[in-house]
C-alpha cells in the first residue's frame, strides 16, 4: 500500500483531531463556518460573534486567496491573519485559513489553529512537506480532479514528515457537468472512511457554487457519515468580494444548523445548534 501511514492497515481506530476545545472525528459534528475571504475587520468580527452564537466550532476565512483571475480580490495577507487572530480572541473559536506558498507557512502557522491546503495545491508536494514538518493540524482539500488514492497519497506526504494531524476535505471534483461549480462526490465519504482512519469533512459551498444547493448537500454529507462541514457564510453575499454566490446568509445558515440536528442524531452524532442566541440577521 502506497499510503501506509494514512491507511486503516496502519491504524484501525478512527483518528480524532483535537483543536483546542474542538475536535473533528468524534461524536460531535464539527461545523466550520465564515466568509470565503477576510475582507474587513468589523465585518469579520461581527460575523464571527454571530456564528459563535449559532454553535459553530471553528471559524474559516481566507487571508491569502487563490483566484482564477489575477484581477480578482487576492486577500489581505498578514492583515487578514491579524483579523483572524482578533476574531479568535473575541469569540474563543479556533481559526482555519489557507496557506499557498512555502514562504508563508511559518507566518500562517503563527496565527492559524488549522492550516488549509486548497484543492489547487493538493499535489504541491513541496508545500505538503513543509506543513508536514510543523505541528499545526492540516485541512487537506481534495484536488479538482484527484482520485481518492491521489488524495490519500497527498496526506501521506504530510504524515511522512511527522505531522499526523490531518483532516481530509471533500469539496467536489470537476466533471463534465456545468450546472454546478463542481460535482460533490458523496461516495468519497464512506470510501475514505473504509480506506483511512483520518477524519473527512465536506465543503458543500465550493461543491455547488450556488447557495441554494448548500443546505441539501450539507445534509446529504452528514447523512453519509461526514465528520464535519466547512461552509461559507456572509452577512451580505451580494457585497462579498469572493464567492458571494455560494455563501449563505446568517438566517439561511441558522436554518441549516437547525435542520442538521435531527440528521446528525440519525447517524449517531450531535450538532450544536444555538439559534435562539441569534440576535439579528443583518450585521452590516
pLDDT digits (tens, 9 = 90+) for 125-159: 999 999 999 999 999 999 999 999 999 999 999 99
What whole-number distance in Å separates Cα of residue 20 and Cα of residue 223? 26
Give the structural domain span for 224. 17-277
pLDDT above 70 as % of the chain: 96
pLDDT of 52 > 80? The answer is yes
For 181-208, the three-class secondary structure string (H helix, E strand, C coil) is CCECCCCHHHHHHHHECCCEEECHHHHH
CATH code at 61? Answer: 3.20.20.70
Task: Tell me if 122 is assigned to some domain.
Answer: yes
Task: Tell me if 29 is assigned to some domain.
Answer: yes
Number of independent structural domains in the chain? 1
Task: Tell me if 207 is assigned to some domain.
Answer: yes
Task: Tell me if 4 is assigned to some domain.
Answer: no
Share the mean pLDDT of the chain: 95
Average pLDDT over residues 3-14: 95
What whole-number distance in Å separates Cα of residue 171 and Cα of residue 204? 6
Q: What's the distance, CA 89 to chain centroid?
A: 20
pLDDT digits (tens, 9 = 90+) for 197-247: 999 999 999 999 999 999 999 999 999 999 999 999 999 999 999 999 999
Task: Tell me if 2 is assigned to some domain.
Answer: no
Task: Tell me if 135 is assigned to some domain.
Answer: yes
Name the pTM for this structure. Answer: 0.95
Lowest model confidence (mean pLDDT) among 87-91, 92-96, 122-126, 280-284: 280-284
Q: Any bridge partners for residue 115, and if so which?
A: 97, 138
Amino acid at each position: 500500500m502506497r499510503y501506509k501511514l494514512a491507511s486503516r492497515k496502519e491504524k484501525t481506530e478512527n483518528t480524532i483531531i483535537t483543536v483546542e476545545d474542538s475536535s473533528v472525528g468524534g461524536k460531535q459534528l464539527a461545523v466550520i463556518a465564515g466568509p470565503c475571504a477576510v475582507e474587513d475587520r468589523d465585518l469579520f468580527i461581527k460575523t464571527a460573534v454571530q456564528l459563535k452564537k449559532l454553535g459553530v466550532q471553528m471559524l474559516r476565512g481566507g487571508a491569502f486567496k487563490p483566484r482564477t483571475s489575477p484581477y480578482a480580490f487576492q486577500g489581505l495577507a498578514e492583515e487578514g491573519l491579524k483579523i483572524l487572530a482578533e476574531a479568535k480572541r473575541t469569540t474563543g473559536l479556533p481559526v482555519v485559513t489557507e496557506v499557498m506558498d512555502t514562504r508563508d507557512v511559518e507566518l500562517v502557522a503563527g496565527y492559524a489553529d488549522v492550516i488549509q491546503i486548497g484543492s489547487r495545491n493538493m499535489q504541491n508536494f513541496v508545500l505538503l512537506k513543509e506543513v508536514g514538518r510543523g505541528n499545526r493540524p492540516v485541512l487537506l482539500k481534495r484536488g479538482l480532479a484527484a482520485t481518492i488514492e491521489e488524495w490519500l497519497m497527498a496526506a501521506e506526504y504530510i504524515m511522512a514528515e511527522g505531522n499526523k494531524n490531518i483532516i481530509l476535505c471533500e469539496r467536489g471534483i470537476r466533471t463534465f457537468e456545468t450546472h454546478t461549480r463542481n460535482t460533490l462526490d458523496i461516495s468519497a465519504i464512506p470510501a475514505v472512511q473504509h480506506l483511512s482512519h483520518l477524519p473527512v469533512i465536506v465543503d458543500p459551498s465550493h461543491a455547488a457554487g450556488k447557495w441554494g444547493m448548500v443546505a441539501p448537500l450539507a445534509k446529504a454529507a452528514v447523512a453519509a457519515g461526514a465528520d464535519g462541514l466547512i461552509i461559507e457564510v456572509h452577512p451580505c453575499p451580494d457585497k462579498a468580494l469572493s464567492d458571494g454566490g455560494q455563501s449563505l446568509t446568517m438566517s439561511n445558515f441558522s436554518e441549516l444548523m437547525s435542520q442538521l440536528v435531527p440528521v446528525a442524531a440519525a447517524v449517531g452524532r450531535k450538532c450544536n445548534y444555538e439559534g435562539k442566541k441569534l440576535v439579528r440577521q443583518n450585521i452590516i
